[in-house]
Structure 1
Amino acid sequence: MKTVVVTGGNGSIGAAIAKRMQKSGYNVVITYFSNKEAAEDLQKNFGFYAVKCDVKDEKEVKEAFKEVHKKFGKIYALINCAGIALKQKVITDVTKEEFENLFAVNVTGTFNCIKEALPDMISEKRGRIINVSSVWGVVGGSCEVAYSATKGAINSLTKALAREVGLSGVTVNAVAPGFIDTKMNAHLSEEDKKDFCDGLSVPRVGTPEEVAEAVAFLMENAYVTGQILSVDGGM
């Protein structure tokens, strides 16, 4: 059975992706940084293997992947879902520490995990890397400048790495969710949600399961690489 690692697998989108990967027949490993209870519930109820890991910490990432390798052998696919955001605010109100921490988790964290998983894929001449980006990484978001910058970096990383490892049988893609029903968006008022959705071709909030279906498509297609697949209701 092929092993898939889903970072941030205890979050709303990460958990939906992990469940969808299990449905497709993969052995699923999830990583988590906080909310240990949610990770343990997923491990208990779905049989995922949960590993605590701060993705921005290179040493922790190495230890986590070492544990996965020891228990399951080589990794077939890596789905980078671990990430953080700030509350909406203008760029002049974002501190240097907040900006750097966003990049440390969202970008450096993605880089750290890719470095540990990719050698398995290259040696096997097959594999999948799927990064969870955001529509703000494509179009940019007002009062989301720092977050948008991290997701734009992930999109560029995705496209460049796809060119680098294509001859090794590895595909690299990203999904770019729009407004999805997650804990990250739970603080928004119903009026804010309606205002956002009114501008969409499909005027409603998306679900984590719909993002997971996009990931499943990319997992099964060997001729799609270097793409940023928007799951945004038609912005």
Structure 2
Amino acid sequence: MNTRKNAPLALVTGASRGIGKAIAEALAEAGYHLILTCSHTLPDLQEVAACLEEKYGITCTAMAADASEPAAIEKVFASLDHLDVLVNNAGISYIGLLTDMSVEEWQHVLNTNLSSCFYTSRLAVPLMLLKHSGRIINISSVWGNVGASMEVAYSASKGGVNSFTKALAKELAPSNIQVNAISCGVIDTAMNHCFSPEEMNALREEIPADRLGQPEEVAKLVLQLIQAPTYLTGQILTLDGGWQ
């Protein structure tokens, strides 16, 4: 893969739209060369990559890789010889009663949201150890902190992400690799388009900030975590407009 060894390189999963796309642009603007992945929207991701290259003069590689499949992640890392930043953003939701959920649906949510962090991190860490530095940032949810009715699998997966973050941070702190997570509230993305306008208005009224969060705000916090003192690690930072 054509990336200059001394140039900062970041990998963002689930980057074709929403939060992942906003994170990719923020990193590109900051001068990072990028590896971007998606599961099923490669043409959209390729368009994002081309735009970022033209706009910011960085290299940006778009790859189709289902984050829930370890073999797919191994292919992404196969040609990488260094990595500075890993952003685990890929995620899916399931809304419905637990008793209506199939075993396959449960496993798909857990594999995509939680196991994917393991699949990427276990390959990213050896590359970061080469420089004795690195940042791993996991995109989580407030439901990982408090749980949500009708979203048991999603809540469980994000709770797992939070614990994964804290544990891995302790493991990697002696190696100067920081691991943190952003616990997002209601962000204005396609994931929330399943709700009716009435439901979204009711939800908005619960948020003290009186609005939904924007993907660009998550991206800005990602950059701040990358630039934060190295003593900041193992933290779950909540970005929810004062909601939870």
TM-score normalised to the size of structure 2? 0.91
Of 13, 21, 25, 1:15 maps to 21
- In the other structure, the counterpart of 1:155 is 162
The answer on 1:214 being equivalent to 2:221 is yes
Separation in 2, partners of 1:228, 1:145: 20
Separation in 2, partners of 1:42, 1:66: 23
**Tell me, which stretches of 5 or more residues in structure 2 are unaligned?**
1-6, 54-59
- C-alpha deviation, 1:191, in angstroms: 1.2
TM-score normalised to the size of structure 1? 0.95
- In the other structure, the counterpart of 1:199 is 206
Of 218, 227, 232, 2:235 maps to 227
Ranges of 4+ aligned residues in structure 1 off by more than 2 Å: none
- C-alpha deviation, 1:116, in angstroms: 1.0
- In the other structure, the counterpart of 1:130 is 137
**Tell me, which stretches of 5 or more residues in structure 1 are unaligned?**
none
Of 111, 125, 128, 1:118 maps to 125
Task: Write out per-residue CA displacement over residues 29-85 of structure 1, whole angstroms, 9 at most, x where no aligned residue.
Answer: 101111112101112111221111122222221111113x1xxx3001100011111
In the TM superposition, 1:1-235 aligns within 5 A as 1-47=7-53, 48-67=60-79, 69=80, 73-86=81-94, 88-221=95-228, 222-235=230-243
Partner amino acid for 2:90? A
Alignment: residue pair count: 230
Separation in 2, partners of 1:185, 1:109: 22
Task: Write out per-residue CA displacement over residues 193-226 of structure 1, whole angstroms, 9 at most, x where no aligned residue.
Answer: 1111111120111110011111111111122111
Separation in 2, partners of 1:115, 1:157: 12
Separation in 1, partners of 2:71, 2:34: 22
Task: Write out per-residue CA displacement over residues 131-186 of structure 1, whole angstroms, 9 at most, x where no aligned residue.
Answer: 01111101111111110000000000000000000010000000111111101111
Separation in 2, partners of 1:51, 1:210: 25
Task: Write out per-residue CA displacement over residues 68-110 of structure 1, whole angstroms, 9 at most, x where no aligned residue.
Answer: x1xxx30011000111111x21211111111111111111111
Separation in 2, partners of 1:193, 1:60: 35
Task: Write out per-residue CA displacement over residues 9-42 of structure 1, whole angstroms, 9 at most, x where no aligned residue.
Answer: 1131000000001111111110111111210111
Partner amino acid for 2:21? A
Identity level (%): 38
